[in-house]
Chains A and B, each alone.
Chain A
């Protein structure tokens, strides 16, 4: 059995070990598909929907998240079509309207081309990306954090709201949380939120720079650091 498989992303045929997600492959090759809830080496939830791509099959294309799509031989993916960019922009707009008080969220909004926020700002302190839950459960097996509730009432919490003994205060949850760094100009007070739109850097926790950057078109729109 071959250990590798080949997928085509934005016209480039890429070789990858079997079992990788399309997002993994893309990031490996420097195709910087925006993402938020993806946590390397942990299961992917497909919650933020930012990493959506078009999966072209039998002449039809379906919009699906690249983090949950396993790369299979001969797959054809388009990660940066006009439609995808428009959809991503709307999703990022929803996110930044909800939780603008985070450098990561503001950066994602810029990367996705958000120029205006057409909804009243809110000032939430959690985007429910699930990184903390997954790191607690999968890396440490502590199961101290979980998603509680449904819909808009969904939140991350300890059982009964009380920190359990299984929590060893390792702080991994804080380390992976996108909300922990406030925007450069300082925390945004309730009622005074705005679309930052200035910073063009990458998400601070995705600091790993791949060795092979293909200098793709995608990077131009996102003001990718490697484009300079």
Chain B
């Protein structure tokens, strides 16, 4: 059968339908992914929803956003809390597991930490931390969907380190406070919990420092700023700025000791201060009758200046009137509190002149102790004394004019070491002196003996002199304490004295010591003091050999008496011939040849000075009571004139032989020289006898002469020969003389009649032979010499002016020496004038009965050898017309 073709339209599936299909897939996938990514929900309860916003606040773990707050509700149970529903990203591993900790991260800026600053801009976020590190153990944890947020970030579990708990009494350390080990921050306080006994701190030590913690480590609180003030200085120390604000804990570990590991249960005690960590646990009780102003929180116990312990408690018992101090000593010091220990309290004591315990002003009164023995027997109960322990030793008494404000306790020092102290002081019974009872420690008692001196050491000793400036500041303590210095010049001297004078200061002592070396005091007299002062030096050739001790004005004479002291070793340089002269100031000598400026030492210019010269070294006579102080050197030198003698003969003269005038020594031979075969003697003549140096003065050597009728110059037996001088009358001066061979006649310069007689020979006549008239000496032979024609001897006679009238022109002179001997049958008749004429010879003069006029000077007579008989009968009457003569006898 044929039909019309039915055209069926094929239902084709248009390709275009792929597009919506794909679109559906994509869209569906996008939406699916969108919701899928939203993850799962957890609920975290917070204290408040500050900073939380729905859709905005994220859950961030390790910086990755893994969720977002999707809902905020008030907690159904507790109205004070808020539930935040967090939609957690699917990819976030194991957030909804038990033990996970959530907390809000808010910006926290404090001195201990600055964290979460990014949240200032971004807003707070929530952070999460698992409780265990290991991913597998996290996964194995049971699931949990509801959490309670922590108040603050927990310890970062991934940061390994050491976690330690510390027990303390008080919680004054905040969370976040640093843990310091030798000022390095090694950790921090994580948590503070109150416990029954006190406070427990959970601290965390960084891993890299965890080896510092050992089993026997100690922890103590650092008190922010530590101020330590004492006289030695002020010290402010801070550990770290953080510790100043938040407090801090310091850690110290001894060198030995086992390092702890984190598995151990670590619990330590937190001490309040460093030394507490070292305190021994024994409580030592000190009992005292006095109450003290001790702050038990601040005051310490010291041992020899070192902090040795703390005062734990102070209790006052009114019924017994006692204060009880409980102290704890450091572990190293505990054994020192043995049965011989002596505890006392140091309080500041300020007096006008002495300040004691000044360190106590800064520290407050404190307790200190000492022990004399090394006894091992410990004790824990002591009496607290007020006084420092008494020194045992020798008691000495010091006397002074003044109390000098020295009080008991003042030290006695020897070479700057304290060797004793003043026990007490009082006024002597007679009220004249102040007596100090001092005690010198036994081990130093050998330092005090009879040669000791005590003087007060002032705080500052200064001496400015031309030798330099000398400033001695005692130690700082002596500046405040003031002390007494002991000086012992001879350590081997006997020690018998128990009482000494207390000298006012060092200068007084030095002065006293100066004049004790066996020297000599000399007085000088002068009209002008010049610039001499007390203490001015006395120089010899520029070397100081003594000192001016003092001077005073003699009110009567107007002279100034100066008292000088020449040191022992130099006193031999002074003898009777010493001249002292003033060398103060400057000497200027201006002459045509130039200007000469001479000064003594600088000191002598200002302080004045005295110098001396001793010209006659061998002068042995006694020192005069007072010497004259000459104005200057020239005037001293002028005291002696130098002269010179020459002679051909040998003499007995030697250096030191005197020059004598009328038995008075007026000079001294200083040198003996041989010049061109002539002996030359140089001598010094006392200036006072300069008139002897007339150029016609005669000098001759006298020695010991033993004669029949006399012994001449007996002293020359001991002193030796000397030069005798006869003054001349010339006005010209000379300083060089020939020594006469023979002493000139003593009459040579006298007024009288001189006549000449001529004899055939000298016989035994010599210079000084007498001339007699009727056996009375009327003159003597002055000189003789061989007559000019060599036929006889001319003699010059000196007739005393009182007997001049006896000599007439016709007087007869005969030699009376001859012994008249008449031998006759009637016997022997010896007639002689005198015995001495037997030896010395003599001349007799007769004047005839008819005397002629008086003889003229230098009239010549003949000297007969013997008299005529009739001459002996002459008896002229002669009258003495010289009114000046006194007739001796009748």
Partners in one complex: no
